[in-house]
């Protein structure tokens, strides 16, 4: 990668980390630290934890499309300002209702699509996957960091401090976007970075993509559902809030070891490991429904939950990318992200509502049943070979016969031509495809 691509990768990754910290840090602490509010209830806790997912889900695609019309940086800066306002609303809240409003506003700053599109604009086609990978890794890192920092910040400075800190951090992100992130030097073809409205209907109808969309919705339901409960369980087991980071450290370390094992097994039997992960989640919740009165027992179950969760969370986007037609990855990922965030919203609301009226054990019964229903859905997913993508520019003189020749080259699995953008998207089997042959057919000079 050149200096512009490195600067783009790390500055946008830093923006992602700071912003996602604000969304995630509340998860391990709210159920305990908000108990002094006069309108505290399990339902409002669930709504506050998952509420950001509702506005994220609704606005994810529109904000991405808007960035294509008015520019990436204006949308990103506007989204960060909305996030900062939501953080301040929640920070000044003296009841749960206004925390929920603040969280909804935080989620309304839905800038993920615009960030990915800007990263695409600032990177060459050959280096774009590396840039995207660095930003993607930062999302997972921010979640782990939030689990450790959340309890420490609340213990030392109070719940409001989390919201005020994230509000300030979002303003720092604005400065990073304006002064550290380079201005776009080239505009990436939008098909593989941004949602395209015309593509959405057909992609919704794609059975394999629909299975993955439902899967990520359930997966994020489960994690928000869990975090409405876990802080309370730790308190019940005499772990003070300022010690919760130790429990999460154990869980994260154990789950990383488990993830390494799963990844090793998946090299030859990926689908089997996916099914084992879903079945493992069903087992974890079934065992939690039967009791969780030992800290060791609880940590083992939560560690295995995170092992399964992390494996699925890491692999589902790659499956979406592989299945999505050439030139449609941006739209497919936009739909996928909307399902993901909506799942977080539903999980928080369901967990809080069921706990409020039936008790926490019924939350785990429901979660286990959902995983059992999920198994045949994911079982029906057909093979997803890891295919490579190329984006090639054409010119006005490219004859239609060249496109036919291109589609017949060895290794070409899918081809999409966008005449008005003078772009061709390819999905290929890298073992059999030679990019130089494609360039010769299209008369493209290196």
* Cα atoms in the Cβ-side hemisphere of radius 13 Å centred on 377: 19
Kindly report, residue by residue over 185-199, the tens digit of the pLDDT. 556 666 666 777 777
pLDDT score at 417: 74
The confidence band for 324, taking pLDDT boundaries of 50, 70 and 90, is confident
Among candidate residues 6, 100, 10, 3, the one with its CA nearest the CA of residue 46: 100
In this predicted model, which residue has the larger pLDDT, 5 or 240?
Answer: 240
Question: How far is CA 275 from its chain centroid?
Answer: 21
Please determine, for residue 385, whether its predicted confidence score (pLDDT) is greater than 70.
no
Least confident of 141-155, 312-326, 423-437: 423-437
pLDDT score at 185: 59
Residues 138, 128: Cα–Cα separation, whole Å: 16
pLDDT score at 446: 52
Q: Domain spans of the chain? A: 3-379, 388-442
pLDDT score at 313: 87
The confidence band for 383, taking pLDDT boundaries of 50, 70 and 90, is low
pLDDT score at 346: 93
Q: What is the average pLDDT value for the chain, to the nearest integer?
A: 85
Residues 257, 266: Cα–Cα separation, whole Å: 14
Q: Do domains 3-379 and 388-442 have the same CATH topology?
A: no
pLDDT score at 117: 79
Please determine, for residue 334, whether its predicted confidence score (pLDDT) is greater than 70.
yes
Q: What is the mean pLDDT of residues 33-47?
A: 90
The CATH number of the structural domain formed by 3-379 is 1.20.1250.20
- Per-state percent for the chain, helix, strand, coil, to nearest 5: 75, 5, 20
Please determine, for residue 179, whether its predicted confidence score (pLDDT) is greater than 80.
yes
Please determine, for residue 93, whether its predicted confidence score (pLDDT) is greater than 80.
yes
pLDDT score at 83: 92
pLDDT score at 88: 95
Question: How far is CA 443 from its chain centroid?
Answer: 39
Q: ∠ CA(50), CA(54), CA(60), 5° rounding? A: 125
* Cβ atoms of residues 33 and 178 within 8 Å: no
pLDDT score at 326: 74
CA distance readout (Å), 196 to 64, 127, 192, 211, 327: 9, 23, 10, 21, 10
pLDDT score at 420: 66
Residues 75, 288: Cα–Cα separation, whole Å: 43
pLDDT score at 396: 61
pLDDT score at 109: 86
Please determine, for residue 390, whether its predicted confidence score (pLDDT) is greater than 90.
no
What architecture is domain 388-442? 2-Layer Sandwich (3.30)
Q: What are phi and psi for residue 358, nearest 5 degrees?
A: -125, -20
The proportion of the chain whose per-residue pLDDT surpasses 90, expressed as a percent, equals: 31
Least confident of 202-211, 357-366, 407-416: 407-416
Please determine, for residue 33, whether its predicted confidence score (pLDDT) is greater than 70.
yes
pLDDT score at 186: 56
């Amino acid at each position: 990668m050149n200096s512009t691509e490195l600067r783009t990768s790390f500055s946008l990754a830093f923006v992602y980390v700071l912003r996602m910290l604000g969304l995630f840090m509340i998860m391990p602490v709210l159920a305990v630290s908000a108990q002094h509010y006069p309108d505290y209830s399990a339902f409002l806790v669930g709504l506050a934890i998952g509420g950001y997912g509702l506005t994220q889900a609704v606005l994810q695609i529109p904000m991405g499309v808007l960035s294509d019309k008015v520019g990436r940086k204006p949308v990103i800066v506007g989204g960060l300002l909305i996030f900062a306002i939501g953080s301040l609303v929640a920070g000044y809240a003296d009841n749960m209702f206004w925390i929920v409003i603040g969280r909804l506003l935080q989620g309304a700053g839905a800038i993920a699509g615009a960030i990915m599109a800007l990263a695409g604009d600032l990177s060459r086609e050959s280096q774009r996957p590396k840039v995207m990978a660095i930003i993607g890794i930062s999302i997972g890192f921010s979640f782990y960091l939030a689990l450790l920092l959340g309890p420490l910040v609340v213990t030392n400075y109070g719940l409001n401090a989390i919201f005020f800190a994230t509000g300030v951090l979002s303003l720092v992100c604005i400065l990073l976007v304006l002064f550290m992130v380079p201005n776009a030097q080239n505009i990436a073809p939008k098909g593989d970075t941004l949602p395209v409205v015309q593509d959405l209907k057909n992609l919704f109808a794609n059975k394999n993509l629909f299975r993955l969309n439902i899967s990520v919705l359930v997966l994020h339901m489960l994690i928000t559902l869990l975090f409405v409960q876990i802080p309370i369980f730790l308190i019940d087991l005499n772990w003070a809030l300022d010690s919760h980071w130790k429990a999460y450290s154990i869980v994260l370390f154990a789950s990383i070891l488990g993830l390494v094992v799963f990844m090793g097994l998946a090299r030859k039997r990926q689908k089997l490991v996916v099914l084992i992960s879903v079945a493992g989640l069903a087992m974890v919740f079934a065992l939690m429904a039967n009791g969780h009165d030992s800290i060791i027992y609880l940590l083992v179950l939560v560690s295995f939950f995170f092992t399964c969760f992390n494996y699925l969370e890491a692999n589902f986007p790659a499956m979406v990318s592989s299945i999505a037609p050439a030139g449609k990855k941006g739209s497919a990922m936009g739909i996928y992200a909307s399902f993901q965030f909506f799942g977080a919203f539903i999980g928080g609301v369901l967990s809080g509502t069921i706990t409020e009226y039936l008790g926490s054990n019924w939350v785990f019964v429901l979660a286990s049943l959902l995983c059992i229903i999920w198994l045949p859905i994911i079982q029906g997913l057909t093979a997803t070979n890891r295919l490579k993508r190329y984006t090639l520019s054409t010119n006005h003189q490219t004859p239609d016969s060249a496109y036919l020749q291109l589609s017949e080259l060895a290794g070409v699995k899918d081809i999409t031509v966008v005449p008005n953008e003078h772009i061709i998207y390819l999905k290929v089997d890298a073992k059999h495809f030679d990019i130089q042959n494609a360039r010769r057919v299209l008369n493209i000079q290196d």
